[in-house]
Structure 1
Amino acid sequence: MAETFEAERDRLRAVAYRVLGSHADAEDVVQEAWMRLARQDAAMIGNLAGWLTTVVGRISLDVLRSRRAHPETAYEEEFANLVVTAEDDPAPDEVVALADSVGVALLVVLDSLTPSERLAFVLHDMFAVPFQEIGQILGKSADATKMVASRARRKVQTTDRTTGPGREHREAVKAFSAAALNGDFEALLRVLDPDVKLTVDTPEGLVVTLGATNVATGARMFSGKAARQRPILLNGIPGHMTWNPDGTPLSVIAFTVSEARITGIRIVIDRAKLSAIRLPDPS
């Protein structure tokens, strides 16, 4: 049984990673699946590979639902996986592996799906798991599961092209940074989506601001604190970083872009979190 599990380990890890987008969580899920298998009578399992896929799917679904129930925990996990590099530096192994296994743009899109949609899409479209088996995980019929996967597929197809780190994304980030640095309120409004969401990670917790006018006002005030700034890549996606006058990191900024407008901004200014990751130099 152990030999069979080891033969399946890489595939199971790939399934869990694509569902969860976290290497650490994927490893935990696979380990939990092994512990559950060890408590089973192998003779009672007709299709061990299928059984393991179902177990990994159920555990992964529980993790996704827990993230929805405790969004602050999900944010912490996402931050722990953050890889920051200068835009002109060669991509580190972590970023290369991320891009090869899933694609950064797809990970961003998958985050917009519900847990059921994400699981159904990954299992069926990426691993060809039958709808009947996925339905057993979700507690739905095969037809209902097919509808869930179809809905997820439509979301991926309509948004994947707009969230990737292409020229449109870079231009929007560049325009926002220039407008914020110059205090150009009108230019900020042009590049921000009317319903843009700004999330700032502070030492006191997360602060959320909604709407282009409010975000633009805050961006103008915040820009005056930065002594230096430069474009960066966050897990391969264009972003921005600023430094204090004494050379210590001030902020790391990630952007979500759709149709040439910024729809989401995440700023980390918590010094404890900034010090926990490897950051490029200001020069």
Structure 2
Amino acid sequence: MSLVNTNWLEKNLDKVKIIDCSWHMPQTKRNSFEEYQQLHIENTIFFDLDKNSKTDTDLPHMLTDIKSWEKIISNLGIKNEDRIIIYDNSDVISSCRCWYNFIYFGHDPSLVHVLDGGLKKWMNEKKPTVSNLTKIISSNYIANEKKKLVKNKEQIDENIEKNDFRVMDARSRERFEGKVPEPRKGLRSGSIKNSFCLPFSELINEDHTFITKEKILEKFRLTKCNLNENIVFTCGSGVTASVLALAYSLIDTKYMPTIYDGSWSEYGKN
């Protein structure tokens, strides 16, 4: 139940904590917080993916440390027992990255969900929005870091020989195959040796909902990756990798999302 639909959320607005985790690629020139201030679903809290990430690195939105995460989530008024619904208004379905962060830091996976279709579908259905900021009462959130759910560059390099897990890349095929320049400066084109490619966009409908479970399974099978082995997802900066991880959790309910956090922003440095 990683996904909930818009009708379900509309009926349960007062029973859940709602997060807007919209994040946009830099070249879009969009400001997520300004858009949130203009309109959002009632009772929604804004989650700034860049500010709520590791600060002492030049890599984008890396996982922060556990104490910082506890402070961030406590300041958002979220409790350990809360059911959380995360949405976005982004073409890269950034809500999935926030979903992954919560699971990594130990929130019960059965209590963390992404709104299928996000704000785009909600608005297309003419469901109500507000502009007033949500009042937050601080909590005392306690995290439980699941370090096995993240890989670093050293582990990715070692795995090229060991083959303990498979690496699947969510970027476009053109980027994966090195046929186009990377959107971030200072990165070479290409991909991690022996990795597989499944562009996240192939799993998303025009209305920003996920395609059916049957079609998701078919897409994964077409990659020729052995789905019986451990899978680690990567992308440009760890955002769309989380889209693949959530999609995979829909067809394998026991799968715990595992991400190469640095992704190509780290691995592809010149």
What's the TM-score once normalised by structure 2's chain length? 0.30
Query: Greater share of helix residues, 1 or 2?
Result: 1
The structure with higher relative contact order (CA 8 Å, sep 6+) is: 2
Higher strand share: 1
